[in-house]
Amino acid sequence: METEPSNAQPTQHLLLRRVRNADDRQAWSEFHRIYAPLITSFLRRMGLTHADTEDAIQEIMLVAHQGLRSGKYDRSRGSFRGWLYGIARNKALVAHRNRRRPSRAQAPVSESGVDLLGGIEDRSDETDRVIWEQEWRYAMLAEALRHVRLTLSEKVYEAFLRYGVHRRPVEDVAAELGTSTSTVYVYKARALEAIRRWIAEYEGETSEERV
Amino acid sequence: MSGDCLSDELLERYCRGELSGAPAEAAAGHLAGCQTCRQRLRAQQETVELLDDIRLVVDREAAQPGADPFARRHARGTRVGPYEIQDLLGTGGMARVYRAVHVRTGEVVALKLLKDEHQGSGEIRARFLREARATARLDHPNVLRVFPPEEDAGGGPFTGIAMELLAGGSLAERIAAQRREGSLPEPDRVLALSLQAARGLGAAHSHGLVHRDIKPSNLLLDEHGCLKVSDFGVVQALESTTWITGTGHQIGTPAYMSPEQCKGEKCTPASDVYSLGVTMFELATNRLPFTVEGGSPFAQMLKHISERAPDPVRYHPQLPDRFASVILRCLEKDPADRFCDGDALSAALDLASRGEEPSAPRAAGEGRKTPWQMNAPIIREQLERLPQRSIVAWACRCARRVQGFNNDPRVEQAIAMAESVAAGADRASDRPASSRILARMQKLRAASLAAAYTDADDTTEAAAVAAARAAAAASACASARCAADAAADAVFALENALLAWRAGGHSSRNLWREAQNDYRTLRAARLGASGTIGLAVPTETWKPRP
């Protein structure tokens, strides 16, 4: 069901190049695995309903796919992250407009006659971008975890997860894994280091892309 | 790294505020003396953020269908009380927040649920629900709506708080984005957001609620950029970012804590005003008023108690003075010197925001309001908080600044009178003023004001004289122990000084700036019992700068 990660560290740049090749179905499924959850979370946080999100996600993936195939996405003109954001946000705005109902939140804020929100545009790009950046980071972390989990031993990963991530008492974790507390510390540090390295390499391509 | 340097694990716990009592103090003590560890602490903060993000990712995946059954109890589609869980939105220290939909009404909410490990504690649960009920009574566009707690479908109590779901993230995210881009926000925008926060806070204060943990991450935005104050009280019991003292008593987030909170004293609405002041400062300038190398909470708290906040204009030169002075007043150490609650603050911010508006022409033919007039009520309030001899000193300085134009003997006379009255009051300050003296002072004031009003017109000379007489009136009021009247007269002195200044062909903006500098100097000087008016007001004649 899951695609086997290749031996070499995959990078975004490499993945996007592979997606352009119509025959590389595996590339497309990897692309979907990484970016579809990101776009889903983004749309949900933009306030789209579950059903609207499902519809929009299909359209966005389609537009992105076509854009990559046809060469519409141009590395020299900006980052992939920014390009995908543009597509996702546009679709979300369209979905919003289609089912706009007056809500509590749209009541005027100022009673002094000055529209204090005048400076803050209707649906601020700034806010959406912050959400996008955050979701992007989560997507990168999720992907990094997937890879790191496969390269590290189960004990190392579990120590990291139980002690480092879930903040369980180190003594408990050491006892559960049948090891010492100092080893749990070492395992945690090792996994963290692997995650950092993975992200730096994957995104290293991204920053080169921006140039 | 020497032998007694802190381990990475200890540093991480320190960052998370998990240390308390002696270990926390030992760590803080070591950090104060060890630069290597301070640098490592900064790296560790980045690690803490990374781990928290990973935790969210892991929790989200666990909530997906197909994940292991243990973690799936709150997966999509599970019923919790009257709600059905949809997605995991975030994880805090003791609770998780989900997007959930009400089964009967179909309303989509943010549902905060206590983590399993805290469900057992009766005290935490009781507090959780009590706060939910208290906040549910608040209905204000700038307060995050909390739905009244409902019974479980089975009739049992259900330990969850359902809140309005907002799509715009928090101010913390906005500030983080500003920092990343290295861009300073539009002052109007900061003002609009601050005003909304102050209004929300005001609504809570008028219901007798004190938030105690105002900070950017508790100020949420909806998709239109409308701000809502969230986590009233709830947060104290629930968030891991709260600092825990040696006694295990949680009191807030060090970077935003008021001096009285830092000292372990009682929190009042003015404490929230302080925390919002820190937040406004950060939102406007991308930096905290008090920064501590290595982020030691103890050092941070010490600064809240003893260090004066810098002028935010230093870090954002386009920030209007009237807004900056509102922020600074929020950051006063003594709660009595701040705006007393959210409503008082929002009134001041409202005035500051309307400063941008062109106003009706003045009777004197002035087409636009000068900066001073826009701020007169604010500054009058600020002056009122100064020791009374400082109010007089300020008024005298205003009068002196116009004296350079014409050397009118009447001005010198009036200022001399003001000074002698105040000096007399100084000497007598240890004795209770008799009603006879008070009556005399009131008469003196009335006479000064009458003279000032008769002379006040648009000529330089008359306005300068009026300014000096108003200063004298202020002095009389101060001697009669009436700060409000003294402040009003001092404002009148400045207004006249501005008239004289303009009639002399100078930009009123310069005088405004000087007056504000005077205010700050005097406030810093804190003319207490040992200060005298003679020391505060230099006797040489002040010449206006070209």
Phi, psi of A24 (to 5 degrees): -85, 85
Average pLDDT (A32-54) is 85
Q: Of A86, A71, A72, A205, which Cα lies nearest the Cα of A140?
A: A205
Report DSSP state, residue B107: -
Rounded to whole angstroms, how far apart are CA atoms B435 and B441? 10
Q: Which residues of A touch B198 (CB under 8 A)?
A: none
Those of residues 35-94 in B touching chain A at CB distance below 8 A are 47, 50-51, 53-58, 60-61, 86-87
Residues near B78 by Cβ (< 8 Å), separated by ≥ 6? Answer: B72, B84, B85
Q: Both B378 and B518 in a single domain?
A: yes
> Could you give the angle at which helices B508-525 and B388-406 cross, rounded to 10 degrees?
150
Q: What is the pLDDT of residue B149?
A: 67
Task: Judge whether B361 lies within some domain.
Answer: no
User: Are residues A72 and A90 both part of a single domain?
Assistant: yes
Instruction: Give chain A's end-to-end CA distance (angstroms, integer).
Output: 36
**Mean pLDDT lowest among A49-53, B231-235, B421-425:** B231-235
In a domain, A116, yes or no: no
Mean pLDDT of A193-209: 74
pLDDT of residue B359: 31
Which residues in chain A are contacts of B181 at CB distance < 8 A?
A: none
C-alpha to C-alpha distance for B12 and B17, rounded to whole angstroms:
9
- Asked if B54 and A165 come within 8 Å (Cβ–Cβ), the reply is yes
SS3 B65: coil
Mean pLDDT, range B158-173, rounded to an integer: 82
Do B178 and B150 share a domain, yes or no? no
| CB-CB contact of B57 with A141 (8 Å) | yes
CATH number, domain of A189, equals 1.10.10
Same domain as A136, residue A48 = yes
Alpha-carbon distance B61 to B119, whole Å? 23
pLDDT at A116: 33
| Placement of tokens 């937040």 in the chain | B279
Q: Which residues of B touch A50 (CB under 8 A)?
A: 86
Look at residue B198 and tell me whether its pLDDT is greater than 90.
Answer: yes
Q: Which of B51, B61, B169 sits opposite A131 (nearest CB)?
A: B169
Neighbours of B65 (CB within 10 A): 8
- What is the percent of chain A with per-residue pLDDT over 70, rounded to a whole number? 79
What is the β-pairing status of strands B160-164 and B108-114? antiparallel
Residue B188 known to be catalytic = no
Tell me, yes or no, whether A135 and A71 share the same domain: yes
Mean pLDDT of chain B: 74
The pLDDT mean for chain A works out to 77
Q: Are B399 and B464 in contact (CB under 8 A)?
A: yes
CA-CA distance, B534 to B88, in Å (whole number)? 66
Q: How confident is the model at residue B366 (pLDDT cuts 50, 70, 90)?
A: very low
Instruction: Name, in order, each residue with C-beta under 8 angstroms of B81's C-beta and a sequence gap of 6 or more.
Output: B150, B151, B152, B153, B158, B160
Q: What is the pLDDT of residue B151?
A: 54
Does residue B541 fall inside a structural domain? Answer: no
Q: How far is B317 from chain A (nearest CA, A)?
A: 19
pLDDT band at A8 (very low <50, low <70, confident <90, very high): low
A154-176 pLDDT, tens digit each: 899 999 999 999 888 888 899 98
Which tens digit of pLDDT belongs to each residue from B70-124? 444 556 677 777 888 887 776 665 667 888 888 888 888 888 877 665 565 666 6
Q: How far is CA B494 from CA A94, A176, B23, B109, B293, in A?
A: 55, 74, 55, 53, 42
Asked whether residue A114 is assigned to any structural domain, the reply reads: no
Q: Is there a single domain that holds both residue A159 and residue A88?
A: no
The pLDDT score that the predictor gives to residue B74 is 59
* B56/A138 CB distance under 8 A: yes
Between B64 and B537, whose confidence is greater?
Answer: B64
The sign of the CA dihedral B390, B395, B397, B398 is positive
Torsion of Cα atoms, B66 then B70 then B74 then B78, to 10°: 70
**Tens-digit pLDDT profile for residues A141-153:** 999 998 888 888 8
- DSSP letter string over B245-267? -TTS-EEE-GGG--HHHHTT---
The pLDDT of residue B268 is above 80: yes
* CATH number of the domain within which B241 lies: 1.10.510.10
Of A5-14, B189-198, B375-384, B537-546, which gets the smallest average pLDDT?
B537-546
Residue B428 in this model has a pLDDT that exceeds 60 = no
Q: Check residue A141 and give its pLDDT.
A: 93
Band of pLDDT at residue A191, cut at 50, 70 and 90: very high
Question: What is the pLDDT averaged over residues B271-282?
Answer: 95
Residues B154 and B225 in one domain: no
The verdict on a CB contact (< 8 Å) between A185 and B357 is no
Residue where one domain finishes, among candidates A115, A143, A171: A143
The range of the structural domain enclosing residue B43 comes to: 8-62
User: Does any domain span residue A109?
Assistant: no
Token pair for residue B189? 């925008």
Maximum mean pLDDT: which of A16-30, B128-142, B182-196, B422-436: B182-196
Q: Running DSSP on this structure, what letter comes out for residue B95? A: E
- Do B205 and B176 lie in one domain? The reply is yes
Cα–Cα dist A10/B115, whole Å = 37
pLDDT number for residue B373: 47
Phi, psi of A100 (to 5 degrees): -90, 120
Same domain (yes/no): B200, B100: no
Nearest Cα to A192, choosing from A152, A138, A133, A135?
A152
Strand residues in B388-496 grouped as ranges (E):
none
Percent of chain B clearing pLDDT 90 (strictly above) = 9
Does A165 contact B at CB distance below 8 Å?
yes
Residue in the structure block whose two tokens are 């020497």: B2
Query: Shortest CB distance from B57 goes to which of A104, A123, A138?
Result: A138
Q: Does A141 touch chain B (CB under 8 A)?
A: yes
What distance in Å separates residue A69's CA from the closest CA in chain B? Answer: 30
3-state secondary structure of B80: strand
Predicted pLDDT of residue B363: 32
Minimal Cβ distance to A116: which of B86, B177, B195: B195
Catalytic residue among B8, B213, B337, B430: B213
Does B282 have pLDDT greater than 90?
A: yes
- Note whether B372 and B512 are within 8 A (CB): yes
Do residues B381 and B510 both lie within one domain?
yes
Strand boundaries in B236-378, DSSP class E: 243-244, 250-252
- CATH number of the domain where residue A19 is located: 1.10.1740.10
Predicted complex: ipTM over 0.90:
no
- Assess if residue B111 is contained within a domain: yes
Which residue, among A129, A130, A161, would best test binding to B if mutated, counting the most B CBs under 10 Å from its CB?
Answer: A130
Strand partners, B512: none
Report d(CA B37, CA B118) in Å as an integer: 34
Query: Based on the domain organization, do B213 and B291 belong to the same domain?
Result: yes
Do B111 and B151 have their domain in common? yes
- What band does A76 get if pLDDT is binned at 50, 70 and 90? confident
Residues B208 and B206: their CA atoms lie apart, in Å, by: 5
Same domain, A72 and A92: yes
- Which residues pair with residue B227 across a beta bridge? B221
For the segment B469-516, what is each residue's pLDDT rounded down to a tens digit? Answer: 888 887 777 766 677 778 888 888 888 888 787 777 777 777 777 787
Q: Which of residues 99-128 of A touch B (CB under 8 A)?
A: 104-107, 109, 112, 114, 116-117, 119-124, 126-127
| Nearest neighbour of A123 by CB, restricted to B195, B223, B354 | B223
**Cα–Cα distance, B490 to B399 (Å, whole number):** 10
Enter the DSSP assignment of B114.
E
In a domain, A15, yes or no: yes
A117 in a domain, yes or no? no
Domain extent for A165 = 152-211
Interchain CB distance below 8 Å, B192 and A120: yes
Please give the pLDDT value at position B228.
92
Domain contains B366 = no
- Any domain includes B343: yes
Nearest to B209 by CA among B198, B217, B218, B201: B201
Q: Give the number of domains in chain A.
A: 2
Distance CA B367, CA B373 (A): 13
Q: Are residues A175 and A93 both part of a single domain?
A: no
| B291-349 confidence digits (pLDDT tens) | 876 556 677 788 888 888 888 998 998 988 888 889 998 998 888 888 888 988 998 89
| Assigned domain for A112 exists | no
Which of B352, B381, B414 delimits the end of a domain? Answer: B352
Alpha-carbon Rg of chain A, whole angstroms?
21
pLDDT at res. B327: 93
Bridge partner residues of B114 (DSSP): B95
The answer to whether residue A207 is domain-embedded is yes
* Secondary structure (3-state) at A108: coil
Same domain, B178 and B326: yes
Please report whether residue B505 resides in a domain.
yes
Where would I find the H helices in A74-180? 80-98, 125-151, 154-159, 170-177
B72-106 burial by CB neighbour count: b if 16+ within 10 A, else e?
Answer: bebbbeeebbbbbbbbbbebbbbbbbbbbbbeeee
In a domain, A178, yes or no: yes
Say whether pLDDT at B233 is over 90: no
pLDDT value at residue B523: 67
Pair (B192, B81) in one structural domain: no
Q: Are residues A50 and A85 in the same domain?
A: yes
Question: Which residues have CB under 8 Å from B369's CB, separation 6+?
Answer: B355, B358, B359, B362
Same domain, A81 and A14: yes
User: In sequence order, what are the residues at sequence separation of 6 or more whose Cβ sits closer than 8 angstroms to the Cβ of residue A131?
Assistant: A42, A45, A46, B167, B168, B169, B173
Mean pLDDT across B437-451:
73
pLDDT at residue A109, as a whole number = 37
Dump pLDDT digits (tens) for B383-420: 776 777 778 888 888 887 776 666 677 777 777 777 77
pLDDT at position B121, please? Answer: 61
Residue A123 has pLDDT above 60, yes or no: no
Model confidence at B127, in pLDDT bands (50, 70, 90)?
low
Higher pLDDT among residues A194 and B262, named by residue: A194
Q: What is the mean pLDDT of residues B139-143?
A: 88
**Nearest-angstrom CA–CA distance, B236 and B124:** 11
Residues B141 and B89 in one domain: yes
Sequence-distant (6+) residues with CB within 8 A of B230 are B143, B144, B163, B218, B219, B220
Do B78 and B15 fall into the same domain?
Answer: no
The number of distinct structural domains making up chain B is: 4
Segment B250-271 mean pLDDT: 78
* Same domain assignment for residues A134 and A162: no
Cα distance between residue B491 and residue B485, in whole Å: 10
Instruction: Please indicate whether, in this complex, the C-beta atoms of A120 and B54 are within 8 angstroms of each other.
Output: no
What is the residue-wise DSSP string for B156-204?
SB--EEEEE--SS-BHHHHHHHHHHHT-PPPHHHHHHHHHHHHHHHHHH
Among the partner-chain residues A107, A119, A131, the one whose CB lies closest to the CB of B188 is: A119
Q: pLDDT tens for residues B32-78?
A: 888 888 888 888 888 888 898 898 888 877 766 554 444 445 566 77
